Amino acid sequence: MAEIRRKLYKRGSSYETTIPMPLLFALDISKRHNVVFMFDQKQNRWYVEFEAMKKEQKGGKSR
């Protein structure tokens, strides 16, 4: 079974990690995506899913 380990690091008041490129092989990285982390309590496992972001409508929030 393939295994990828990533370092968890502190950034401000939260903890972060990067998504490794091998997990992104099937995505069109020219488009924006949300990363969804899901925890299955019965199996005590985490799952990662990627979903395409919907296009923002004009007049939406700006940063």
Residue 49 in contact with residue 38, Cβ under 8 Å?
yes
Residue 6: per-residue pLDDT? 84
The answer, yes or no, to whether residue 40 has pLDDT greater than 90, is yes
For 5-26, the pLDDT digits (tens) are: 888 889 999 998 888 888 888 8
pLDDT reported for residue 60: 54
Residues contacting residue 51 through CB under 8 Å, at least 6 positions apart: 33, 34, 36
Reported as a pLDDT band with limits 50, 70 and 90, residue 51 is very high
Asked if the model's pLDDT at residue 62 lies above 60, the reply is no
